[in-house]
Chain A
Amino acid sequence: MSLELATEASSVVLQSGAAGGAALGPAAASAIAVGLAALAAGYSQRGIGAAAVGALAEDESLFGKGLILTVLPETLIILALIVVVLIGL
């Protein structure tokens, strides 16, 4: 998954380099930033989600807490979206 992303990013770099302009436009750069942030959020949610489901299997009353803790890393990508708004647009 990260490998695919890396090849895509490098092809973007190559293309814009060939066009003679900046190596990476602001839109592309912010896209990479958001993508990496999304990866990080997903990775951290993997562990928290597994633990939350485990706790939930033992005690269903923990559903609310589990849900909140699982979506907390979502803030990572929401903050990354601000980067897109500031730079990309």
Chain B
Amino acid sequence: MSTPEMDASAGSPGSSNPEYVTARVRARRGVLFDDDEYSKLVRMSPAEIARYMEESEYEQEINALGSRHSGVDLIEYALNRNLARHFNALLGFAEGQLYGLIARYLRKFDAWNIKTVFRGVYTDTDSEAVETDLIRAGEFDDALLNQLLEASTVEDVVTVLDGTMFGDGVEAAFEDFQETDTLVPLENAVDRAFYEQLLGNLPSGEAVALYREFLQAEIDFRNVRNALRLARSGADIDPGAYFIDGGRLFSASEMTTLVGNTDELITRIRESRYGKRLSEPLNELETADSLIDFERALEAVLLQYSRQLGNVHPLSICPVVAYILMKEREVTNIRAIARGREAGLSETAIEQELVIL
């Protein structure tokens, strides 16, 4: 049998420690920023936000980075580092099957890092700038990440990835990349590899069955978002290329036809099992025609869903994933506030960008 992070079903359920992990996760969820703090942050300048963060959870990171960076960059790097620290801590105190499941979910950041490196190489950004954008919360160790950063061409990156779980998919997509000279096939290959390993070989059990449904919802929402974006952009791209397998809403070929017909697509979502949760955002989408609002609504629904699952099965992976999503959301929110303030957006415009439960 392989190591637990390779195979989530390897650790027996008896050896995992959900009580301990859930207690710690709930405590950490308790210190996330709430409505009041967000409304305070929205009124602050980037420098004030950094100072405010220094007095909160982010103290350690702000102090470590404060001498080298300033302004919005400081906030952004501190957020990324804090995220990595908390998620690595999660892996530090989870054991057994729970560890395996968390590790699988956190490979999301491996996928994120690979995509960042691809984009950096593609646009000839220097590796230092790319390095600050990496989130070291995934499974890749520093040595592998450094190798990725040293790669100077897309082909080098593909070579470095050989042997990781992304290797095969990326290698296959590399030919497409050479033909089209766009990163889309490579990025899709990374996403697909991630979701495939996420859903593959899940252990049995009632809580894990619900967790699987949640992951399917996550994939479905992603597909819906991509479909709507493609429909809106009107670009002549094969929608099937963006499709991620594993969802329950529609198949790749169905997505291709639905992208051509937005009304049908919305009806399809309305009649699906997400119809009830999404009915209000869908109404708004039809009347106000604002895709951004709908995407925010999708994220809010997913957050709500994960939180609800965490309450149904408190001693499982569910509350941990709910925490991961909420923490990620907090980081995105603060980043949106800081960037928005820097760009001089109005307070109401920034508030629209936030997803707060």
Please give the residue numbers on chain A whose beta carbons come within 8 Å of chain B beta carbons, in ascending order: 47-48, 50-55, 57-59
Complex Cα–Cα for A17 and B14 (A): 38
Kindly state whether residue B20 has any CB partner on chain A within 8 Å: yes
**Chain B residue at minimal CB-CB distance from A48:** B19
- Nearest chain B CB to A15 CB, angstrom units: 34
Complex Cα–Cα for A47 and B20 (A): 8
Complex Cα–Cα for A52 and B19 (A): 9
Chain A contacts for B22, CB-based, 8 A: 51, 54
Complex Cα–Cα for A48 and B314 (A): 13
Chain B contacts for A50, CB-based, 8 A: 17, 19-20, 23
List 8 additional A-B contacts (Cβ < 8 Å) besides A50-B17, A50-B23, A53-B20.
A51-B20, A51-B22, A54-B24, A54-B93, A55-B24, A55-B27, A58-B24, A58-B27
Chain B contacts for A59, CB-based, 8 A: 27
Complex Cα–Cα for A57 and B23 (A): 9
A57 touches B17 (CB 8 A): no
The DSSP consensus for interface residues of chain A is helix
B23 touches A52 (CB 8 A): yes
Complex Cα–Cα for A84 and B315 (A): 35
A51 touches B27 (CB 8 A): no
* Residues of chain B from 1 to 59 with CB closer than 8 A to chain A in the complex: 17, 19-24, 26-28
Complex Cα–Cα for A18 and B119 (A): 83
Contact partner of B21 (CB less than 8 A), chosen from A47, A48, A54, is A54
Looking at B17, B26, B27, B315, the one whose CB has the most chain A CB atoms below 10 A away is B27
- Nearest chain B CB to A43 CB, angstrom units: 12
Chain B contacts for A57, CB-based, 8 A: 24
**Chain B residue at minimal CB-CB distance from A49:** B19
Chain B residues with a Cβ closer than 8 Å to the other chain, count:
12
Complex Cα–Cα for A58 and B20 (A): 11
Complex Cα–Cα for A36 and B352 (A): 58
* Residues of chain B from 65 to 99 with CB closer than 8 A to chain A in the complex: 93
Complex Cα–Cα for A58 and B93 (A): 12
Instruction: List the 3 shortest-distance A-B pairs measured between CB atoms, nearest first.
Output: A54-B23, A58-B27, A54-B20
Chain B contacts for A53, CB-based, 8 A: 20, 23
B28 touches A58 (CB 8 A): yes
Complex Cα–Cα for A2 and B217 (A): 43
Complex Cα–Cα for A66 and B20 (A): 12
**Chain A residue at minimal CB-CB distance from B314:** A51
Chain B contacts for A47, CB-based, 8 A: 19, 315
**Chain B residue at minimal CB-CB distance from A55:** B23
**Chain B residue at minimal CB-CB distance from A58:** B27
Chain A contacts for B20, CB-based, 8 A: 50-51, 53-54
Complex Cα–Cα for A48 and B18 (A): 11
Complex Cα–Cα for A59 and B23 (A): 11
Chain A contacts for B21, CB-based, 8 A: 54
Complex Cα–Cα for A82 and B257 (A): 73
- Nearest chain B CB to A55 CB, angstrom units: 4
Complex Cα–Cα for A54 and B20 (A): 5
Complex Cα–Cα for A47 and B19 (A): 6
- Nearest chain B CB to A57 CB, angstrom units: 6
Q: Could you mark each residue 225-258 of chain B with 1 if its beta carbon is under 8 Å from any beta carbon of chain A, else 0?
A: 0000000000000000000000000000000000
Chain A contacts for B17, CB-based, 8 A: 50
Q: Give me 9 A-to-B residue pairs in the complex whose CB atoms sit less than 8 angstroms apart, sorted by A's number.
A: A47-B19, A47-B315, A48-B19, A51-B19, A53-B23, A54-B19, A54-B23, A58-B23, A59-B27
Complex Cα–Cα for A50 and B17 (A): 8
Q: Could you mark each residue 109-125 of chain B with 1 if its beta carbon is under 8 Å from any beta carbon of chain A, else 0?
A: 00000000000000000
- Nearest chain A CB to B85 CB, angstrom units: 14
- Nearest chain A CB to B92 CB, angstrom units: 11
Complex Cα–Cα for A48 and B22 (A): 11
* Residues of chain B from 207 to 226 with CB closer than 8 A to chain A in the complex: none
Complex Cα–Cα for A81 and B90 (A): 41
